[in-house]
Amino acid sequence: LLDRVQAEDPTWKDSGTAFITSVTRLLERLLDYRNVIEGEENRDKRMSCTVNLL
């Protein structure tokens, strides 16, 4: 999707790239949070993931 946005329409290039990067980063944080909640991680790690999501 990122390659397509950058290649096809220069008008959407900057905002599209920023949006895709933001969604990617948020999904990575959400997956980290899920892994910590399901695992037996310590409380500090759990709090760190929660703060990152916020």
The pLDDT, as a whole number, for residue 17 is: 85
Give 8-54 pLDDT, tens digit per residue.
777 777 888 889 899 999 999 888 888 777 766 667 777 777 787 77
The CA R_g of the chain, rounded to the nearest whole Å, is 16
Cα–Cα–Cα angle for 36, 37, 42, nearest 5°? 60
- Residue 22 corresponds to which tokens in the numbers above? 């933001």
* Domain of residue 6, residue span: 2-53
- What is the pLDDT, as a whole number, of residue 41? 62
Q: How many domains does the chain have?
A: 1
Q: Would the pLDDT of 4 be above 90?
A: no
Whole-model pTM above 0.75? no
Report the distance separating Cα 10 and Cα 16, nearest Å.
Answer: 10
